[in-house]
């Protein structure tokens, strides 16, 4: 199945917003996980 240029561009334009949302979610998740790694549970300070 060969795509013409217009159809290929239409498909890319549909996919890009989803990819942006996926990348934003991944960045936020990474930040949350890094922050949780920096949290010291109560009672563990100094151990």
Cα(19)–Cα(15) distance, integer angstroms: 6
**Model confidence, pTM:** 0.62
- Quick: pLDDT tens for 3-25: 899 999 999 999 999 999 999 99
Q: Does residue 44 surpass a pLDDT of 80?
A: no
Q: Is 31 helix (H, G, I), strand (E, B) or coil?
A: helix
Alpha-carbon span 11 to 5, nearest angstrom: 10
pLDDT for position 9? 96
Q: Is the pLDDT of residue 46 over 70?
A: no
């Amino acid at each position: 199945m060969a795509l013409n240029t217009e159809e290929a561009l239409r498909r890319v334009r549909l996919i890009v917003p989803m990819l942006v949302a996926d990348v934003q979610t991944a960045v936020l998740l990474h930040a949350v996980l890094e922050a949780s790694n920096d949290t010291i549970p109560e009672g563990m300070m100094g151990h």
